[in-house]
């Protein structure tokens, strides 16, 4: 499920410039459009074969959580699992089912999340919502993140209201008040339809007394607060900013410090600053796990060759900072700062978490035999630390 397919006939550029982070969008579709992502049989299998408990799995009714003791029991090892009889009884009495991070249990949903992440450049996760009666799972509310709702099966009636506080944050001291005007959208979300709801927009979904299944893919774009925090991290390298703030009794030192602080900030606010920020932001997106047993442990311990493919494991992308002399570069991955020859940047920048890159393609980005030997040494060290996965016979 690519973004372009989801928003068609709207163009990607129009979505990003007119809607993303700005206003809601209703995206009508055809019945069965999302059938390939997940269905009722997939949900049944997850409930039967997975040990899920709150807060990952929960039942809600009329805006309140249902006591887990009403629908869970202890398994043979003492771990909680769904008690099918009492679980279905709660659903019959009006409870709705919520499973958080369903992409970790449904491979096709995971692929859809990855595709949207690659386009929007922000991390995401997917929650599943299922209902049968007419009671609301949640009351009218707003979310502190952007969401795309995909109606997998059945129908729900949605009301969406404009924000009452522009771009609210989850930890704001000032809380938005409930809307008093008419909704910006009131309509039915049918099988195959989708909604995009930006952060801060109020919404509520009304069940219709029939089976309904929908996904909410939640994205967390960066804000100006994130940019300032990133700048603060870059400014740590200046000893003047690591120094104590002058005592308020020394007015002259206070003014000098403020001038120095302003100068350092202006020096960092370069025309291409946001491009650098976005590179590091995308690099820091939570990587998704990729396990290739039984051969993975053998490949991980051997030097890469032409039959090896390489995938990032502890990072989503790599973001490099070249040293002043131009001979080496730094990047952070797996909680460690790594220093590599600058000539390897062309190859290492091809690595990502979502695809594995054949070693010959990495070597082709280098110039000469010595850099290829350096690349093998570097990848061996990164593999030993778990930063990359060396995958045999992948492409």
- Identify the band that residue 58 occupies on the pLDDT scale cut at 50, 70 and 90: very high
Tokens at residue 27, please?
A: 């995206």
pLDDT at 391: 93
- Residue 76: pLDDT above 90? no
DSSP class of residue 163?
-
Backbone angles phi, psi at 123, to 5 degrees: -70, 160
pLDDT for 48 equals 94
> Confidence band (pLDDT; 50, 70, 90) for 271?
confident
- Count Cβ neighbours within 10 Å for each residue of 202-229 and write b for 16 or more, e otherwise: bbbbebeeeebbbbbbbbbbbeeeebee
pLDDT grade for 78, boundaries at 50, 70 and 90: confident
Mean residue pLDDT of the chain comes to 94
* pLDDT value of position 258: 92
**pLDDT over 60 at 395, yes or no:** no
Whole-angstrom distance, CA of residue 119 vs CA of residue 208? 34
For the stretch 14-51, pLDDT in tens is 999 999 999 999 999 999 999 999 999 999 999 999 99
Per-residue 3-state assignment (H helix, E strand, C coil) for 207-222: CCCCCEEEEEEEECCC
User: CA-CA distance, 348 to 345, in Å (whole number)?
Assistant: 5
pLDDT at residue 22, rounded to an integer: 95
Residue 138 pLDDT greater than 50, yes or no? yes
The CATH code for residues 296-392 is 3.90.930.40
Q: Which stretches of the chain are assigned E, i.e. beta strand?
A: 25-27, 57-61, 64-65, 72-74, 80-82, 96-99, 124-131, 146-153, 156-161, 185-189, 194-197, 202-206, 212-219, 308-312, 321-322, 328-333, 336-341, 357-358, 388-392
Domain boundaries, the chain: 3-219, 224-269, 296-392
Look at 11 and 240; give whichever has higher pLDDT: 11
Q: Is the pLDDT of residue 201 over 50?
A: yes
Does domain 3-219 correspond to CATH entry 3.30.1490.20? Answer: no
Give, in order, the Cα–Cα distances in Å from 263 to each of 191, 235, 269, 277.
Answer: 56, 11, 10, 20
10 Å Cβ neighbour count for 76? Answer: 6
CA distance linking residue 162 with residue 166, whole number of Å = 9
Which pLDDT score, from 0 to 100, does residue 220 have? 93
What's the mean pLDDT in 283-289? Answer: 94
Q: What is the pTM of this model?
A: 0.90
What is the pLDDT confidence band of residue 394, given thresholds at 50, 70 and 90? very low
pLDDT digits (tens, 9 = 90+) for 232-258: 988 988 888 888 999 999 999 999 999
Average pLDDT over residues 284-310: 93
Cα–Cα dist 336/184, whole Å: 48
Percent of the chain with pLDDT over 70: 99
* Residue among 310, 316, 389, 395 nearest 344 (CA): 310
pLDDT of 377 strictly over 50: yes
CA-CA distance, 280 to 299, in Å (whole number)?
29
């Amino acid at each position: 499920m690519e973004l372009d397919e989801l928003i068609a006939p709207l163009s990607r550029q129009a979505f990003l410039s007119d809607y993303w982070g700005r206003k809601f969008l209703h995206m009508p579709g055809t019945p069965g459009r999302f059938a390939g992502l997940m269905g009722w049989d997939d949900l049944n299998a997850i409930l039967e074969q997975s040990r899920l408990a709150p807060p990952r799995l929960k039942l809600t009714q009329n805006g309140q959580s249902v006591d887990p003791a009403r629908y869970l029991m202890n398994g043979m090892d003492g771990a909680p699992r769904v008690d099918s009889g009492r679980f279905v009884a709660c659903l019959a009495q009006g409870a709705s089912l919520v499973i958080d991070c369903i992409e970790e249990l449904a491979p096709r949903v995971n692929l859809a999340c990855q595709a949207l992440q690659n386009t929007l450049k922000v991390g995401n996760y997917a929650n599943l919502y299922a209902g049968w009666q007419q009671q609301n799972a949640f009351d009218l509310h707003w979310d502190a993140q952007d969401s795309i709702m995909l109606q997998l099966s059945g129908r729900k009636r949605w009301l969406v209201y404009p924000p009452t506080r522009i771009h609210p944050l989850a930890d704001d001291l000032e809380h938005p008040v409930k809307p008093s005007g008419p909704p910006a959208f009131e309509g039915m979300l049918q099988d195959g339809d989708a909604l995009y709801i930006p952060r801060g927009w109020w919404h509520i979904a009304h069940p219709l007394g029939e089976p309904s299944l929908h996904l909410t893919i939640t994205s967390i774009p960066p804000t100006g607060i994130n940019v300032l925090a990133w700048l603060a991290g870059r400014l740590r390298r200046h000893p003047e900013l690591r120094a104590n703030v002058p005592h308020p009794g020394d007015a002259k030192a206070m003014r000098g410090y403020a001038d120095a602080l302003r100068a350092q900030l202006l020096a960092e606010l370069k025309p291409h600053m946001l491009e650098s920020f976005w590179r590091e932001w995308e690099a820091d997106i939570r990587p998704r796990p990729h396990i290739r047993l039984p051969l993975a442990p053998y490949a991980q311990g051997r030097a890469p060759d032409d039959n090896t493919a390489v995938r990032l494991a502890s990072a989503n992308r790599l973001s490099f900072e070249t040293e002043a002399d131009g001979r080496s570069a730094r990047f952070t991955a797996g909680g460690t700062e790594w220093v590599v020859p600058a000539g390897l940047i062309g190859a290492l920048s091809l690595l990502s978490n979502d695809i594995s890159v054949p070693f010959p393609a990495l070597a082709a980005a280098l110039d000469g035999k010595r850099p290829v030997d350096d690349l093998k040494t570097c990848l061996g060290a990164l593999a030993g630390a778990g930063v990359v996965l060396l995958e045999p016979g992948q492409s």
